[in-house]
Amino acid sequence: MAPTSVTTATDFPSSAPVAQVRNPLPRGTALLRGLLGWLVMCVGLGAAIGIVAVLEQRVGLSGVPSHLSRAALMTCLVVPTILLLRCRLDRRSLAGMGWSWHVGRPLALGLGVGVGSGLLAWTPAVLAGWIRIDSIDLPAFAWFLVVNGMALMFFEALPEETALRGYAWSNLRDGWGTTIATTVTALLFPFGGLLISGVAVAITATLGTKTATWSAFPADPAAYIVQLVLFGLALAAARRIPMEGALFVAIAFHWTQLTIARTMLNGMAWVDSGWDTTLVHPDAVVLVLVHIVLAGLIFIAARKVLHGRIRRGAELRLNVRRPERR
């Protein structure tokens, strides 16, 4: 079976963003590297949870310090490992997996799409009375944005996207094409709990005073899997945006979508969002999925528009350089 059609350098002469150009890779190698990226994410996440759980048991760590410690540990374990694998094992550029040190534009795009699609999803429900906003505590909301924002960025958005939509997706794309890379990473995303929980249990059983409970899925596994598969597809659409540092579009959207969802659903057990909201219509919780789907569609439309601009710019440059026939 021939590989799925993907963008190559000849599609946009001298203009293709490096992050979106396929560098062919043997399929077996691509699959192994894709799974390796997923494994690094799962082991790092399980280790961060397990180690902090041990600290909670041994020294009484709790609350905000506990969650920020878990976030810092997750990023320190996963991100350097992925960057090292890319440079030393793959011997390929970080730019090719969507990484960049110039992140202003991609972060702004991911944040903008996250906020815009969130307003489109949640505002009509508030106006229709499906959700009631009883009060907003601005100082508490500001604290939530800082504390939850740091925990979200360094425990989830940055390390998960670097491992999955960065390392795993890019290698799978190079071997199998964008369609299979997107599908595989989206399907792997919700099943990480199978390994994450096992690593956390092993660490607490070995070092702690109480073994963590093995739990791969929340109370409603079907809803959880659907949500994370849709989220994975939207994040892949963000990763495919044709610009330098495209991975950071996905990172910013990951952070923004979860921040909005937690705000509208009254925050987390360990930090109050400052928003006191009531789901008058219980099914309004499905708007979390609506937000994700709308954002995915916006990213697809943005990709098509930007691809069109790149094509036209490349064609214009070729026409300028082409010698006139006499």
At a CB cut-off of 8 Å and minimum separation 6, what does 304 contact?
A: none
Among 2-11, 73-82, 151-160, 307-316, the range scoring the smallest mean pLDDT is: 2-11
3-class SS at 7? coil
Do residues 274 and 144 lie in contact, with contact meaning Cβ atoms separated by under 8 Å?
A: yes
Q: Is the pLDDT of residue 211 over 60?
A: yes
Q: Is the pLDDT of residue 212 over 90?
A: no
Among 32-46, 66-80, 214-228, 243-257, the range scoring the smallest mean pLDDT is: 214-228
Do residues 144 and 272 lie in contact, with contact meaning Cβ atoms separated by under 8 Å?
A: yes
Q: Is the pLDDT of residue 52 over 70?
A: yes
pLDDT of residue 324: 52
**Segment 263-306, tens digit of pLDDT:** 999 888 899 999 999 999 989 999 999 999 999 999 999 999 99
Nearest by Cα to 83 from 158, 10, 29 = 158
Distance, CA of 123 to CA of 115 (rounded, Å) = 11
pLDDT of residue 267: 85
Bridge partners, 135 (sequence order)? 276
Among 167-171, 304-308, 319-323, the range scoring the smallest mean pLDDT is: 319-323
Cα 45–Cα 261–Cα 110 angle in degrees, nearest 5: 75
What is the token pair recorded at 252? 């910013």
Distance, CA of 213 to CA of 199 (rounded, Å) = 11
pLDDT of residue 16: 63
At a CB cut-off of 8 Å and minimum separation 6, what does 34 contact?
A: 167, 168, 169, 171, 172, 175, 181, 184, 185
What pTM, to 2 d.p., does this model score? 0.92
At 247, is the pLDDT very low, low, confident or very high (cuts 50, 70, 90)?
A: very high
At 310, is the pLDDT very low, low, confident or very high (cuts 50, 70, 90)?
A: confident
What is the token pair recorded at 261? 């969802």
Distance, CA of 226 to CA of 189 (rounded, Å) = 11
Distance, CA of 317 to CA of 131 (rounded, Å) = 52
Q: Is the pLDDT of residue 153 over 90?
A: yes
Q: H helices within 60-97, ranges in order?
A: 63-84
pLDDT of residue 3: 39
Q: Is the pLDDT of residue 322 over 70?
A: no
Q: Is the pLDDT of residue 44 over 50?
A: yes
At a CB cut-off of 8 Å and minimum separation 6, what does 134 contact?
A: 276, 277, 278
Question: In whole angstroms, what separates CA 281 from the centre of its chain?
Answer: 29
pLDDT of residue 217: 83
**Segment 88-97, tens digit of pLDDT:** 999 999 999 9
pLDDT of residue 97: 96
Q: What are phi and psi of 94, to 5 degrees?
A: -65, -35
**Segment 109-148, tens digit of pLDDT:** 999 999 999 999 999 999 999 999 999 999 999 999 999 9
At a CB cut-off of 8 Å and minimum separation 6, what does 261 contact?
A: 288, 291
Measured CA to CA in angstroms, residue 299 lies from 52, 181, 290 at distances of 36, 17, 14
pLDDT of residue 13: 44
